Amino acid sequence: MSSPADRILIFDTTLRDGEQSPGATLTVEEKLSIARALSRLGVDIIEAGFPFASPGDFEAVQKIAQTVGTENGPVICGLARATKKDIKAAAEALKPAAKHRIHTFLATSDIHLEHKLKKTRAEVLAIVPEMVSYAKSLVDDIEFSPEDAGRSDPEFLYQVLEVAIAAGATTINIPDTVGYTTPAEYGALIKGIADNVPNIDQAIISVHGHNDLGLAVANFLEAVKNGARQLECTINGIGERAGNAALEELVMALHVRRSYFNPFLGRPADSTEPLTNIDTKHIYATSRLVSELTGMMVQPNKAIVGANAFAHESGIHQDGVLKNKLTYEIMDAESIGLTNNQIVLGKLSGRNAFGTRLKELGFDLSETELNNAFIRFKEVADKRKEITDWDLEAIVNDEIRQP
Ligand code: KIV
Ligand code: ZN
């Protein structure tokens, strides 16, 4: 199964790891509306929550399984520690979904074994197959994660993954739990797993990473080049501490740089076949919804969905974009569901952008009027962060066209 899949699977964990962002707690109804939006977006798997963690999360996972987990909808997944009570609760909550998955995990790094779990490697090697087999007796689709894989001894990791697959795990997820690895290291870790776990062909390799060093997306892209075929990510990159890899950044990187990634999936570079099942036109609306419901603002300069991501302020850039968008844009604002890019008028704006905006506002000025208006605009813009359409109307009506 780890032979290159047709497309890269998008596993969204906004409702589980994303909800672990401090202050981002969601009600059952809010989780449901995000799940519906994720389904519209076209994610392959929704990790809906951690059913054993609280009655509210159990109910949310169950409701999402009932309403969003339809035959043609996404796989609905629930998280469970490698214990029978967690796994049983997850199986129960997921029951109503047409397609469901249990995601169970146990740490494998020596730091976690010694200080958190107080277990030996031998104990971990015994627990993993026992719990994966138990989960498999309840649900067919099982994902196993060796938590803190990024800081685990690779040789031990290979052994754990082998027994997990032998016990029935069909997805093997490799978490960089503390966002410690660099792209080259993470890529090599994925390659090591692909080359050294004897039964890896029976599972899909998945990646999960945090942004403590801001490297999660770069790490994933390197992982794709080395055989990863499922990406675990969140909308707006929300999640524990500095967050998870951002779905919109991963999807648009794969989309915009398709010809670079195609060969790693065994396709000709010029293939136009999409790399994921995501309908990119729903990205912006989903981002807004998640931001609104979690109360987590999106920084203006955030890639893809930030307020400035398609805005041009300087005169040189505005002039270029007005002549041809390709000069300063590598993707269309429309491709993520925005109606257009934005020419922001400020002190660095040029005459071309200024004149174009006035025309859009319905002003047909003579050459002299335009020159005078532009001089006045620059004076005002020097004192303000941004010039609004009202400011422009005031300049023209009150100062340029005054009798
Ligand atoms: O970061 C992590 O290791 C996790 C696991 C539960 C997959 O979120
Ligand atoms: Zn995580």
Among 17, 104, 128, 143, name the best residue to mutate to test ligand 1's pocket (greatest count of ligand atoms within 8 A of Cβ). Answer: 17
Query: Residue 356 carries which side chain, given as an amino acid letter?
Result: T
Q: Of all protein residues, whose CA lies closest to atom 2 belonging to ligand 1?
A: 177
Q: Residue 176 and residue 215: Cα distance in Å, rounded?
A: 10
Q: What is the pLDDT of residue 402?
A: 59
In this structure, the number of other CB atoms found within 10 A of the CB of residue 342 comes to: 16
pLDDT at 6 over 90: no
Whether 227 and 194 have beta carbons less than 8 Å apart is answered as yes
- 2 band by pLDDT with thresholds 50, 70 and 90: very low
Lowest mean pLDDT among 135-149, 285-299, 375-389: 375-389
Q: Residue 308 and residue 301: Cα distance in Å, rounded?
A: 5
Mean confidence (pLDDT) of the chain: 95
Q: What is the pLDDT of residue 397?
A: 85
Q: What is the pLDDT of residue 391?
A: 87
Residue 161: CB partners within 8 Å, gap ≥ 6?
144, 146, 172, 193, 197, 200, 203
Q: Of all protein residues, whose CA lies closest to atom 5 belonging to ligand 1?
A: 147
Q: Which residue has the higher pLDDT, 363 or 241?
A: 241
Nearest atom of ligand 1 to the alpha carbon of 17 = 8
Q: What is the pLDDT of residue 364?
A: 86
Q: Residue 388 and residue 399: Cα distance in Å, rounded?
A: 16
Beta strands in 224-382, from DSSP E residues, in sequence order? 230-233, 311-312, 342-343
Centroid of ligand 2 to alpha carbon of 46 (angstroms): 14
Q: What is the pLDDT of residue 389?
A: 85
Across the range 205-230, mean pLDDT stands at 98
Across the range 326-344, mean pLDDT stands at 91
Q: Residue 204 and residue 333: Cα distance in Å, rounded?
A: 33
- 386 band by pLDDT with thresholds 50, 70 and 90: confident
Across the range 326-354, mean pLDDT stands at 91
Nearest atom of ligand 1 to the alpha carbon of 209 = 1
- pTM (2 decimals)? 0.92
Across the range 275-295, mean pLDDT stands at 96
Nearest atom of ligand 1 to the alpha carbon of 147 = 3
Q: Of all protein residues, whose CA lies closest to atom 8 belonging to ligand 1?
A: 17
- 91 band by pLDDT with thresholds 50, 70 and 90: very high
Reported as a single tens digit per residue, the pLDDT across 11-52 is 999 999 999 998 899 999 999 999 999 999 999 999 999 999
Whether 321 and 307 have beta carbons less than 8 Å apart is answered as no
Q: What percent of the chain has pLDDT over 70?
A: 98
Q: Residue 356 and residue 145: Cα distance in Å, rounded?
A: 54
Reported as a single tens digit per residue, the pLDDT across 49-75 is 999 999 999 999 999 999 999 999 999
The binding site for Mn(2+) consists of 17, 208, 210, 244
